[in-house]
Amino acid sequence: MYDFAIIGGGIVGLSTGMTIGQLYPSARILVLEKENSWALHQSGNNSGVIHSGIYYKPGSYKAKFCHEGNRSLVKFCQNYEIDYEVCGKVIVATVKKELGLLDNLYKRGLENGLNVTKISAEEVQEIEPYVHCLAGIKVSTTGIVNYRQVCQKYIVLIRNQGGELCFNTKVRKVHEIGENLVLETNRGTFETRFLINCAGLYSDRIAKLGRSNPKAKIIPFRGEYYELKPEKRYLVKNLIYPVPNPDFPFLGVHFTRTIAGSVHAGPNAVLSFKREGYKKNDFDLRDFTEIITYPGLWKLAAKYADQAIEEIIRSFSKAAFVRSLQRLIPAVQADDLIPTHAGVRAQALMNNGNLVDDFLIVKSQHAIHVCNAPSPAATSSLEIGKAIARQIPEQSHLKTRVSV
């Protein structure tokens, strides 16, 4: 019998396992992961950016957890000697109509308590010499890290606290038996007093297995990346972002230097017909049927038809992708870019066609379900883990409790 079972060996599940271990040092903790290693989905296929928190609605979980998470993650990397760099980033307006949005973003940054500076086109070029723009914002607290390495450290700490991690173990059913839950997997059953669902792209399905209704469905949005050829890396010093569409949770294709030294361009945001569909032709009948019969999708498509078409074109046409990048750096050419990995975002969508904007954590008597943890959840992972640990009802059978 376990005290806590966590479904998902991504950054949210692992941070949660580690934090619960600190809160309840005597607890028996189990993390179940269906893959043969950790962070093989969103947590290992992202941009590797430690976000500052500039984009998010003041007062939201995203704004709070990202701002605090940025600091706690940097401290964590320092304590455990994980490579990271606080290199800062620029967000730039390249056409007149973006200037107002840039200004709004600057004000939002101030409201969120960040160190942001408005800079002229010339000042942008002092930071990023190849960028052509009208004006920009400098955000000094943005950084870069490899999130797989962060996850690896979380695992070491979970295991040092006595927690267990089972790979190749897929949860198929959840039964309530008396006060406890029984998790049926391909490798037998596990009994737990409390369940935490951090299953990312499958979090809504797991919530339903646990008889919770997240009132939203996970819609997979693939993000495809290109990489600058090594001899062209000089075009990008650090991180260069466009002004995002404020109605959309995605940031627009951008340039990011990674902690390993490569430079990525992307990701776009295309609807995927498979939850873990990393390739353009990936298809899963159940996922596809579920997605296209969901009324929320059609309401969303009606609102954002133009953007959706643009994303599809950009996915199939390298020329269109390059044109988006040339808005930031006109000197970049198609030959400078080679296709690299893709990631799939788990974005919750409500029946009314609204994307769930904030992190969504749904509680029931014996379970907590993390039903929307898109970007910046990697940056915020330590804070999400703490928030979940604090929401667990008092476990009277577990005596020792330290604060987190």
The residue from 5, 6, 12, 133 that contacts ligand FAD (CB under 6 A) is 12
Task: State the minimum distance, in angstroms, from the CB of residue 376 to ligand FAD.
Answer: 4
The residue from 2, 3, 8, 372 that contacts ligand FAD (CB under 6 A) is 8
The residue from 21, 88, 214, 267 that contacts ligand FAD (CB under 6 A) is 267
Closest C-alpha among 221, 260, 259, 184 to residue 347? 221
Q: Is 360 in the site for ligand FAD (CB under 6 A)?
A: no
Q: 330-353 burial, b for 16+ CB within 10 Å, e for fewer? A: eebeeebbeeeebbbbbbbbbeeb
Q: Which is nearer to ligand FAD, 106 or 190 (CB)?
A: 190
Return left, alpha or beta for 145; rule: phi > 0 is left, psi -120 to 50 is alpha, else beta: beta
- Which amino acid is it at 317? S
Q: Is 53 in the site for ligand FAD (CB under 6 A)?
A: no
Whole-angstrom CA distances from 52 to 8, 90, 355, 377, 387 are: 25, 12, 22, 12, 19
Pick the piece of the chain touching ligand FAD (CB under 6 A) from 112-120, 196-204, 289-297, 315-323. 196-204
Q: Is 198 in the site for ligand FAD (CB under 6 A)?
A: yes
Q: Is 210 in the site for ligand FAD (CB under 6 A)?
A: no
Cα radius of gyration (the chain)? 21
The residue from 22, 26, 28, 35 that contacts ligand FAD (CB under 6 A) is 35
Spatial contact of 94 and 135, defined as CB atoms under 8 Å apart: no
Q: Which is nearer to ligand FAD, 23 or 209 (CB)?
A: 209
Q: Which is nearer to ligand FAD, 135 or 216 (CB)?
A: 216
The residue from 138, 148, 170, 299 that contacts ligand FAD (CB under 6 A) is 170
Per-residue contact flags (x/-) with ligand FAD for residues 217 to 256, judged by CB under 6 A? ------x---------------------------------
Question: Three-state SS for 133?
Answer: coil
> What gap in Å lies between CA 220 and CA 270, rounded to an integer?
8
Spatial contact of 19 and 161, defined as CB atoms under 8 Å apart: no
Q: Is 43 in the site for ligand FAD (CB under 6 A)?
A: yes
Whole-angstrom CA distances from 233 to 48, 329, 384 are: 17, 12, 34
Spatial contact of 225 and 269, defined as CB atoms under 8 Å apart: no
Q: Is 34 in the site for ligand FAD (CB under 6 A)?
A: yes
Spatial contact of 172 and 185, defined as CB atoms under 8 Å apart: yes
Residue nearest to ligand FAD (CB): 10
Per-residue contact flags (x/-) with ligand FAD for residues 362 to 391, judged by CB under 6 A? -----------xxxxxxx------------
Pick the piece of the chain touching ligand FAD (CB under 6 A) from 173-181, 193-201, 312-320, 394-402. 193-201
Q: Which is nearer to ligand FAD, 49 or 165 (CB)?
A: 49
Q: Is 41 in the site for ligand FAD (CB under 6 A)?
A: yes
> What gap in Å lies between CA 61 and CA 134, rounded to an integer?
32
The reply to whether omega before 295 is within 30° of 0 (cis) is: no
Interacting residues with ligand FAD (CB under 6 A): 7-13, 32-35, 39-43, 45-49, 51, 170-171, 198-202, 206, 223, 267, 343-345, 373-379
